[in-house]
Structure 1
Amino acid sequence: MNNYFFKKNYVSITAGQFKGKKIFFSNTSNVRPTMSRIRETLFNWLSKNIKNAHCLDCFAGSGVLGIESISHYAKSVTSLEIEKKTVLTLLKNIQKLKINNINIIHTNSIYWLKKNGTPYDIIFIDPPYKMNLLNKTIILLNKNNWIKKNSIIYIEKDKKTPLVIPKNWILHKQKKTSKIEFFLYIFNV
């Protein structure tokens, strides 16, 4: 390994074809990888739906949700990330793992979601806390054709952040830790 990775933090993939592989991430204040026990729960919830799914990771950060999705045989992942340093680290991670079905887009997620989209099967919403991005993202996904009947939406947030869910999103699963709440919704037209 080169020195680039020794100066970073890392998380390990919990299951699937990349189980145990390390994902390195930039040590910035906005990068907060989903904890391994939450990822294990999430991908158990998604076990019947993840294979061959087209996924959208709205706030990629460490990229662990996207890479974990590919590890569980998702067909493709589109990862949105605003921080250039973080994008470069994501690119190095997928290159190291020889993953070719993750498309990393260096963009402001809110601006990107304002255009009319193509629906995804599974969408991950785990924005940086305290930046008021969660409910804006939900509105844009619902309004601009990013979801379709039976799309699955994962939301992770701190307990203090209010959550406004559209009426056509049906709560399927939910769990909480001492500081975090996470949910799985299904879009029903």
Structure 2
Amino acid sequence: MTQRRQQTTRKPQNNRPGGFVRIISGQWRGRKLPVHDVEGLRPTTDRVKETLFNWLAQDIYQSKCLDLFAGSGGLSFEALSRGAESVTMLELDKKAANQLEQNLKTVGAKNATVVNGDSLTFLSQQGRAHDLVFIDPPFRKDLIQDVIAALENNGWLAPHAMIYIEAEKELGNLITPNHWHLHREKTAGQVCYRLFAREEP
């Protein structure tokens, strides 16, 4: 396991130890869930999250979701709140993963799983197809291209899956399979976020 992979992602919505993530819409609208303060977590802001889930409005309900760098769980809990069928959350940091487990118990979610481990190691095994994948890795760690390849090569994507990728703006264009079509793209500050629609090759 290389050092570059031993990172987590999303930071709490504030800078205080013991911050929180706010659920924007759905059955848990307005709920604030505690987040363990882990060095290296980076925020997916409420503005970006709201835009993303507006893009996904027709795709969330009864979808099978995979959140590869779960961090605070902001995207996962938003998907669950809006009616996702199931969510699998990958988080390398043990304390952050434990907090995700606790938050699932708090809201009473029975259709989500937290995996405390490295995302690329997890994706190296043969997978089951998911309808929606969130890829929000730590910046400047060169993880995204390896993740894309593993998703495609090991059966993690449904024929018409939607793939969300959040990355540093300076990364520029991504190399994606020919059957991934850029559905939406926006920039917010130093972050570029994209939603791809996959068509079965």
TM-score by length of 1: 0.93
- Give the Å deviation of 1:7: 4.4
State the distance in 2 between where 1:33 and 1:85 align.
17
Q: Which residue of 2 aligns with 1:144?
A: 154
* Paired AA for residue 167 in structure 1: N
Contact residue 152 and residue 186 of structure 1 kept, 8 A: yes
* Paired AA for residue 97 in structure 1: V
Q: Which residue of 1 aligns with 2:102?
A: 92
Matched, 1:175 2:175: no
Contact residue 23 and residue 64 of structure 1 kept, 8 A: no
The secondary structure found in structure 2 opposite 1:175 is strand
Q: Is the deviation greater in 42-51 or in 155-164?
A: 155-164
Q: Is the deviation greater in 29-38 or in 70-79?
A: 29-38
- Structure 1: stretches of 5+ with no match in the other structure: 1-5
1:31-180 to 2 correspondences below 5 Å: 31-162=41-172, 163-180=174-191
- What is the identity percentage for the equivalent residue pairs of Structure 1 and Structure 2? 36
The secondary structure found in structure 1 opposite 2:163 is strand
Q: Is the deviation greater in 141-150 or in 118-127?
A: 141-150
TM-score by length of 2: 0.88
1:1-20 to 2 correspondences below 5 Å: 7-20=17-30
State the distance in 1 between where 2:18 and 2:75 align.
18
State the distance in 2 between where 1:19 and 1:35 align.
16
- Paired residues in the alignment total 184
State the distance in 2 between where 1:76 and 1:148 align.
14
* Paired AA for residue 77 in structure 2: I
State the distance in 2 between where 1:23 and 1:133 align.
28
Q: Which residue of 2 aligns with 1:184?
A: 195
Equivalent residue in structure 2 for 1:22, among 22, 32, 40: 32
Q: Deviations over 1:4-50 (max 9, x none)?
A: xx940112111111111112212222222311011111111111110
* Paired AA for residue 130 in structure 1: R
* Paired AA for residue 177 in structure 1: A
- Give the Å deviation of 1:132: 1.6
* Paired AA for residue 70 in structure 1: L
- Structure 2: stretches of 5+ with no match in the other structure: 1-15
The secondary structure found in structure 2 opposite 1:30 is coil
